[in-house]
Structure 1
């Protein structure tokens, strides 16, 4: 199917529709990386060259052959202590205190289907869609075993990688570093794309040359973070959206991570992604195992749009699960920017009535409904309904809202605790704090120790008691601070706490998903602070950013699109002047931008004019007609909003049951006197096909739209937006 082992050459070849990934067990048992790129049926070991490089050591097995060195050869899983002086993927402290490791090939298995990772999110696929390769490596001195896992989804041009470590040595060892995937390139002039940011301005695109030395991104915050996203792209220098070679790595993990790209002394490039090595020292007793999280790999020879589409399809179809994997999401309004903490059951009900009047599907009651919670200084951890504030039971409020024909959702922040809470007064040791030190506060809250099962169990029970009180169809799971004071009272090995915390989070979420299979969970961490494929396994949409300003969102959603599909992007129309920036943008423009996401509203409907309410009704009807194209279509970036006057993007949807449709979206970012005309060239159309634009009725050939482009009207006013829907005839 997708994995071929050649006994003669001792090569493993992973074949997808358009790509080949190849490695080889050499004469000494080292596993060398040969090739990853455009599809080929050739044994690629001819690419390896052997020269005597000064100060590059040689394995003892090589005798007097000074041309053979792990410091210069491309490796599949480079480890510290075998002569490779470059940054490595694996570093272990052995029972005797030594730091050496020398992994050699022992055996392998190939089977149909995709491997699973116990306790961790991972790509899933049927036996017909995927194959698995397991390669067993062993250190012959210590007995430490490493299983390299490869999942191959041929039709999707996706390869996944993970690593399992088994301690079969005579004593306790420590894992000091473990990267789930490593790629070595023998030559090439590359550029690195990473996605940096901050709260309310996440996933800005940075593209820089790969230079000698190490370039590193990562997070030590306990989450994947606003600051760096755990996804990166290595692209040949001239690569554009529609041509050139490029490689992506995306980490299926929601905690601390690091990504590295380095160019070595011989102009070779190494790319790695995995767990953050800072504050990581994971113990393994004899007989214990450690499972590293998974990395998704993809390669495109047709530019970055195709690379993104590979990742989009993988996440949409092989990461996201449950009812809302395929189903169009309900259009919701969130109470936060309408009321903040200042609400009662009656005001929530009135907001639901106003939502019904404009055909919004769901009302979400945000922060402030529980415990003693009228501001962000108290109440977290006390997950019982404040019936005095709501003027009755939660079940009664839900029924009143459901009787209007409106769905009900609720906000929670289960990982946090306020010092002013019943829970903290009863269990202060449940918070992450260092004995004898005052904790570092953030947003006046502390973090619960989710590395402890009894803590996870107690909060899970509280949340379930709330969810069982009525027909709650949506949960917004928030997480509003980074982790600090990382210390757990139940373990002496504190280097394991950050990872065990994430495992506790995943355990909680998995139980929630299994108990409430029809519940839509939206992830959030101050917006996009935990926007990663790991969370998407449990939450098929994530609040993209707390910044709801439509013009800022163009850049945020542009950067997000490189690695993640529109179907997971939480995006809403908010009030103007915008609460984050003070900017005013037309309601139509806010709608066009929010439609490149799950779509909803973040404003007080009672303050809108009748004309604005009517425009919202029209927006909702339009979105629902476009939703299948938006959620399932191929996404194309048509311009770069950081350098161009327009921000343009496109969805191309081909459905066997329906006509093929194309949705073109444009926002004008600037306006000038005596404005020049902007043209947008579409992508992904059939050259000879005729496409009719729905509103104007005009007809264009695919070639005309792709090579001539679409002229945009010149209109007065800032931030004008345009949508064109083309139907293939």
Structure 2
């Protein structure tokens, strides 16, 4: 349909967006479950029924929520836009100027709305794109129309969409170093649930995904509406309910960039582009959200090849870059089937610990007298790819670059403030600093034909101001845009180069950075007990092939907990697997087990990195059943996990989610992971599953009744492979 019809209906993947394009500003009448092929009469019924009853002590006109809610609409909640011109023009009244509708049958489409605000002298443009996956992308821009006078100081431009009154519970995430993506549940009550990120990056406590849902929603059940701010700088997330509701709906959900005072000042003709906010709906719990986000990522940035199995040197050698030791590590990695070696921190000038050298991206000839040629050649001769660690946005004050260019520091002119890990921030928005980084990194990539960069970011941005002649200016937004530009240019120059986003582990994971990177380092914590939950919640948004997960030493570097090799192998298999362990200390038995595991995950990589992720809803929080299922449900791999001891029945039946009820499955227990630690004997069916023929079970039995599972000791896991008979 066209904008002339006065409405828009976009449909895709079981989702519908219905917008009323009449009135002073467009409105969202419905976002959620597909309503079918609505005609003009159906839309009119939806529009007419959006006029709610007037209650006592309320506006004379029925309240309605526009796409950019302001006080003009008698909206008393968080507004869609705020700002001023030298203390004036504080009551925006955006009015529809034009609307263009591009509906694409059942594949979604775009509604582009242009609003003009005479009070603030702004043109405001919004794109609402319902993508083929059913994900709704909302993106705003603001352009100053004033020909002279004071600039418009933009406080924020926030994407808000309405959600129904039956969404009464919220889920988002918090965390800290080595414990990212810790879920937190709370009721959606009157008032605003606001999460503000002021760390210069999403942070280890990133909200990650803000989900509102029906009572008791879980992995596999409940209706849910979710928002994600696809931006790698400061952010704001919001869910808000008012006693009067949001028009005919119950609350609003959304977010955008958090701007510092004076960060965006729009003079005549200046334009601000807000980051995209992505919204998703599901009537199948958070697994349904994951299906949409995973499909979006896989179709938007398809990989030409599978993620390789990595060995990263950090927890093997730390700063001790001895070629003899590293050479033995490379040789052993090649023998067990590793596909990529990544040389971590410690290779560049003056870098013998974390107190000096950061920012001097020249090879330390005292440690590497022949450059990196020996380790690169040895890696290539063994048939593996080579990767290198950088932390381009940071600098030690004890470095040549900091001494030569104090103006490149992203810090107040009056002093740099507190350090994190003995480092400060380099202003990559400074043209000369940007050019320095680009040429140094690009030169090394070209010299050694580097396949992969581990791009780290180990501190937060506090007092992040650019040192300019007219005074210190807020710099987080400029820093974020410069980062995006730097990553884009490196990819342009080196099309085969892959980059991992690391920020003290999972401190910068968002769909903005993932437009420009091929993997994330999910957490610095390789303890499989912690990793099970970190990965469980991370893969609501990201498919497992993007979530780096490494097998570490028996005693975890971060928690000092000791775990069996079997459990470490199980945990890393269901992500983007690798090793972060000094395998020169491994005996032949452990090396053999690692080789068998690598062979197995490579042979099943198409399923592990292309299937649908599922999570069972279990009453015991210390047990997990999660898996990856082929799109046609012809094959699956599941992990049965016990994190800690708990009460309740032992050995009860556990249903398997996501399988086909209409076909039989052969259940087998792969040898590649070794035997888990059991608390007692195994159920009788396990012996059949270990046999050559496996254990045949109807899908209806697996999905509805389930199997009595082995009772595992704490910190243990078991992998089950299912193939359709």
TM-score if structure 1 supplies the norm length?
0.90
Q: 1:627 aligns with which of 601, 605, 613?
A: 605
Partner of 2:84: 93
**Deviation (angstroms), 1:265:** 2.0
SS in structure 1 of the partner of residue 67 of structure 2:
coil
2:101 paired with 1:107: no
Contact 1:214 1:263 in 2 (8 A): yes
Q: Give runs of aligned pairs for residues 133-144 of structure 1, distance below 5 A.
A: 133-144=111-122
Q: Give runs of aligned pairs for residues 233-244 of structure 1, distance below 5 A.
A: 233-244=211-222
2:278 paired with 1:306: no
Contact 1:82 1:100 in 2 (8 A): no
Partner of 2:510: 532
Q: 1:283 aligns with which of 249, 262, 265?
A: 265
CA distances 1:644-687 after superposition (whole Å, capped 9, x unpaired): 231110111136xxx92111111122347998214331122221
2:355 paired with 1:372: no
Partner of 2:653: 679
Contact 2:11 2:108 in 1 (8 A): no
Partner of 2:675: none
Q: Give runs of aligned pairs for residues 436-475 of structure 1, distance below 5 A.
A: 436-475=414-453
Q: 2:254 aligns with which of 254, 259, 272?
A: 272
Q: 1:223 aligns with which of 195, 201, 216?
A: 201
Q: 2:705 aligns with which of 665, 689, 708?
A: 708
SS in structure 1 of the partner of residue 601 of structure 2:
helix
Q: 1:67 aligns with which of 61, 68, 79?
A: 61
2:16 paired with 1:16: no
Q: 1:514 aligns with which of 492, 497, 510?
A: 492
Aligned residues: 690
**Deviation (angstroms), 1:495:** 6.3
2:32 paired with 1:37: yes
Contact 1:398 1:471 in 2 (8 A): no
Q: Give runs of aligned pairs for residues 299-698 of structure 1, distance below 5 A.
A: 299-318=281-300, 320=301, 325-490=303-468, 497-639=475-617, 643-654=620-631, 660-671=634-645, 676-695=650-669, 696=689, 697-698=694-695
Contact 2:154 2:266 in 1 (8 A): no
Partner Cα separation in structure 2 for residue 496 and residue 163 of structure 1: 21
Contact 1:34 1:74 in 2 (8 A): no
SS in structure 1 of the partner of residue 538 of structure 2:
helix
CA distances 1:670-722 after superposition (whole Å, capped 9, x unpaired): 3479982143311222212111124531111111110111222235x442211
**Deviation (angstroms), 1:180:** 4.4
Cα distance change of structure 1 residues 640 and 281 upon mapping to structure 2, 3 Å threshold: farther
When structure 1 is superposed on structure 2, of 548-557 and 451-460 the one drifting more is 451-460
**Deviation (angstroms), 1:482:** 0.3
Contact 1:385 1:466 in 2 (8 A): no
CA distances 1:287-318 after superposition (whole Å, capped 9, x unpaired): 11111111111111222211221111112321
Contact 1:92 1:173 in 2 (8 A): no
| RMSD between aligned residues | 2.3
Contact 1:106 1:136 in 2 (8 A): yes
Partner of 1:181: 159
**Deviation (angstroms), 1:461:** 0.7
Contact 2:3 2:100 in 1 (8 A): no
Partner of 2:681: none
Q: 1:721 aligns with which of 713, 717, 722?
A: 717
**Deviation (angstroms), 1:36:** 1.1
SS in structure 1 of the partner of residue 567 of structure 2:
helix
Cα distance change of structure 1 residues 81 and 688 upon mapping to structure 2, 3 Å threshold: closer
Q: 2:49 aligns with which of 47, 50, 57?
A: 47
2:236 paired with 1:258: yes
CA distances 1:218-261 after superposition (whole Å, capped 9, x unpaired): 31000011112342111112433333211111121111101011
CA distances 1:164-186 after superposition (whole Å, capped 9, x unpaired): 11111234433433344211235
Partner Cα separation in structure 1 for residue 101 and residue 281 of structure 2: 22
Partner Cα separation in structure 1 for residue 107 and residue 432 of structure 2: 39
* Structure 2 unmatched runs, 5+: 670-688
CA distances 1:595-622 after superposition (whole Å, capped 9, x unpaired): 1211000100011111111110111111
CA distances 1:441-470 after superposition (whole Å, capped 9, x unpaired): 111111011222322121111111211221
Partner Cα separation in structure 2 for residue 586 and residue 310 of structure 1: 35
**Deviation (angstroms), 1:562:** 1.9
Contact 1:443 1:481 in 2 (8 A): yes
Contact 2:89 2:119 in 1 (8 A): no
Contact 1:669 1:718 in 2 (8 A): yes
**Deviation (angstroms), 1:138:** 0.7
Contact 1:192 1:210 in 2 (8 A): yes
Cα distance change of structure 1 residues 669 and 274 upon mapping to structure 2, 3 Å threshold: same
Contact 2:200 2:234 in 1 (8 A): yes
Partner of 1:121: none
Partner Cα separation in structure 1 for residue 261 and residue 537 of structure 2: 29
SS in structure 2 of the partner of residue 254 of structure 1:
coil
Partner of 2:145: 168
CA distances 1:425-448 after superposition (whole Å, capped 9, x unpaired): 110110112122342211111101
Cα distance change of structure 1 residues 20 and 612 upon mapping to structure 2, 3 Å threshold: same
CA distances 1:51-71 after superposition (whole Å, capped 9, x unpaired): 5566766xxxxxxxx124xxx
Partner Cα separation in structure 1 for residue 469 and residue 257 of structure 2: 20
SS in structure 1 of the partner of residue 465 of structure 2:
coil
Partner of 1:132: 110
When structure 1 is superposed on structure 2, of 677-686 and 574-583 the one drifting more is 677-686
TM-score if structure 2 supplies the norm length?
0.91
Contact 2:263 2:475 in 1 (8 A): no
